[in-house]
Amino acid sequence: MRTRIGTKQQLSHDVARSRRSWKHVIMAGMLVGGLISVLLATIAVQSPSAHAAVAAKHGSSPSLHLIWSDNFNGNTLDPSKWTADNEPSPRNNEQEYYTPSDVSVANGSLAIKTEKRSMGGLPYTSGFVHTWQKFSFTYGRVDVRAKVAPFSGAWPAAWLLGDGCGPSAGDPCNWPNAGSAENDFMEMFGKTTTNSVTLHYADPTTGATSSMGCGNVGPTNVDYSQSFHVFSTETSPGKTDWYIDNQLVCEKTYTPTLFNTPAYLILNTAICPSWCGVPIGDAQLPQSAYYDYVHVYSSAANGYKDVAAINAGSTDNVSGFAPDAHFSGTNSQAVTTYNSIDISGVKDPADVGMYQSNRVGPSFMYTFPNLKPDHTYRLRLHFAETYWTAAHQRQFNVLVSDGHHSRHVLTNFDVFAAAGGANKAVVRDFTVHTTSTGQIDVQFASGASDQPMVSGLELLNE
């Protein structure tokens, strides 16, 4: 989403509609010619038959596999999935300071509040959350159900940014070159009645900063601040589609060498700069944008398939999860329960029986050997608290040693709190990378209380 583009004079209202250039890298005048031609074009809403095809694909086709989601069912932002920025916006000379205090989770929604208050020398505050270094994917579909903040001058966005460009000032960034390209699938420039979708990338022949997309897409006479709508993008090799409420609103094709690397998710509300031509509704503030859910799917053709699935603590093969293997460490043990496990809160859960066994101990490790070297996988960890009946009784750490480094993916993780109770399944998933020898290690270590436990481990291949 956020880009820095040179001088105000270079930002005509046509260019501004899609003007996302990223923070450190844009030279004056690079975007003007290409962007004007891109976003003067709009696309009509497609026929009901197209809508039906998309709905069928999204809702019931076995070719779509949920690989990551957040339904915001807790009372805090899940730190294993999201980071809330705490800094002045490093993009576009914006006027807002991003603070975690304007990010909250309650009543089944994520709220991003925008306020007229001074912080860090800026006159507004707002929220910016992202999944950098926690979740990314290459091909698939994202659905974000959102209601934007109802004030004039709001600049809300849901977007994807390549892993090669970190979200904060000082992060490595090579925008919009390979690995750092951008897909804006919900973006409104000061008005809550028009949505634009845009791809930003480096031309594979010339290296010039380029864009393609559609402006003012979606149904007419709709105010996106008055009710929830689902904003979606679906990417496959050489093609990106965009949807609003499962209605195809724009599609673009390009060389398959573009948008072929992992990208992470960003949700935020900015204050639209003066080039938007929309006055800021100071008297309307504070206001909040609400996000009901974020779901990410991958298809069987372009997405993820099982490489390994382990039924921790069991000698049984349950729903494709093989008997316990590939673990090491002293004093860990297999624990089995006959408790009934509630799997209703998990997308793509294993069978109940898989959650009735666990490996438990002060420290143990699972090793996935003989994988493709220097390759990206998805790791899904399955849990259910079958012993404790309150939060904070079991808090432990999970570290992954992969091709990049050894890193904490869960810190003082509380299964009971994450699942919302005992005997309830919960899943956490992560992007991981194999070493040069094709191996991934998953280490479970004691944290603030009791010992770590896990019901199942699942490795998925892109």
Arithmetic mean of pLDDT, 225-232: 96
CATH code, domain carrying 264: 2.60.120.200
**162 pLDDT exceeds 80?**
yes
State the pLDDT at residue 64.
63
Single-letter code of the amino acid located at 18: S
Residue 148: pLDDT band by 50, 70, 90 thresholds?
very high
The structural domain count of the chain equals 2
Residue 174: pLDDT band by 50, 70, 90 thresholds?
confident
Helix ranges (DSSP H) in 366-447? 415-419
Query: For the segment 297-339, what is each residue's pLDDT rounded down to a tens digit?
Result: 875 434 445 578 899 999 887 767 888 988 998 789 999 999 9
* Residue 320 included in any domain: yes
User: Which residue do the tokens 């420290």 mark?
Assistant: 363
State the pLDDT at residue 462.
60
* Residue 3 included in any domain: no
Q: In this structure, are 281 and 332 located in the same domain?
A: no
**371 pLDDT exceeds 90?**
no
pLDDT higher at 51 or 346: 346
Arithmetic mean of pLDDT, 257-264: 89
State the pLDDT at residue 139.
84
Domain carrying residue 221: 8-299
Q: In this structure, are 337 and 265 located in the same domain?
A: no
Could you tell me whether strands 305-311 and 322-323 are parallel, antiparallel, or unpaired per DSSP bridges? Answer: parallel
Q: In this structure, are 230 and 279 located in the same domain?
A: yes
* Residue 2 included in any domain: no
* Residue 354 included in any domain: yes
Q: In this structure, are 163 and 21 located in the same domain?
A: yes
Distance in angstroms (rounded) separating the CA atoms of residues 270 and 402: 35
* Residue 240 included in any domain: yes
Q: In this structure, are 82 and 109 located in the same domain?
A: yes
* Residue 317 included in any domain: yes
Q: Are 246 and 166 in contact (CB under 8 A)?
A: no
State the pLDDT at residue 309.
87
The token pair that represents 282 in the structure block: 């100071």
Arithmetic mean of pLDDT, 206-216: 94
Residue 447: pLDDT band by 50, 70, 90 thresholds?
very high
Q: In this structure, are 293 and 321 located in the same domain?
A: no
* Residue 1 included in any domain: no
From 299, 314, 340, give the residue that closes a domain.
299
- CB count in 10 Å sphere of residue 242: 29
Single-letter code of the amino acid located at 35: L
**244 pLDDT exceeds 90?**
yes
Sign, CA torsion 436/441/442/443: negative
Q: In this structure, are 274 and 311 located in the same domain?
A: no
Nearest Cα residue to 254 out of 300, 198, 309: 198
The token pair that represents 109 in the structure block: 């929604």
Q: In this structure, are 386 and 336 located in the same domain?
A: yes
Q: In this structure, are 325 and 180 located in the same domain?
A: no
State the pLDDT at residue 355.
95
Q: In this structure, are 282 and 314 located in the same domain?
A: no
Distance in angstroms (rounded) separating the CA atoms of residues 324 and 315: 6
* Residue 349 included in any domain: yes
Question: Which residues sit opposite 429 in a β-bridge?
Answer: 380
Query: For the segment 375-423, what is each residue's pLDDT rounded down to a tens digit?
Result: 888 899 999 999 999 999 999 999 998 765 788 889 999 999 999 999 9
Query: For the segment 349-363, what is each residue's pLDDT rounded down to a tens digit?
Result: 888 999 999 999 999
CA quadruple 262, 266, 270, 275: dihedral, nearest 10: 20
Kind and range of the H or E run holding 378: strand 376-384
Q: Are 190 and 152 in contact (CB under 8 A)?
A: yes
Kind and range of the H or E run holding 58: helix 48-59
Residue 8: pLDDT band by 50, 70, 90 thresholds?
very low
Q: In this structure, are 67 and 31 located in the same domain?
A: yes
**141 pLDDT exceeds 80?**
yes
CA quadruple 423, 429, 432, 438: dihedral, nearest 10: 50
From 242, 273, 299, give the residue that closes a domain.
299
Q: Are 188 and 148 in contact (CB under 8 A)?
A: yes
Residue 91: pLDDT band by 50, 70, 90 thresholds?
confident
Q: In this structure, are 144 and 254 located in the same domain?
A: yes
Distance in angstroms (rounded) separating the CA atoms of residues 155 and 105: 21
The token pair that represents 67 in the structure block: 């690989």
Query: For the segment 11-59, what is each residue's pLDDT rounded down to a tens digit?
Result: 223 323 333 333 333 323 333 333 333 333 333 333 222 233 333 333 3
CATH code, domain carrying 412: 2.60.120.430
Q: Specify the pTM.
A: 0.59
From 274, 299, 324, give the residue that closes a domain.
299
Beta strands in 237-284 (DSSP E): 239-244, 247-253, 263-271
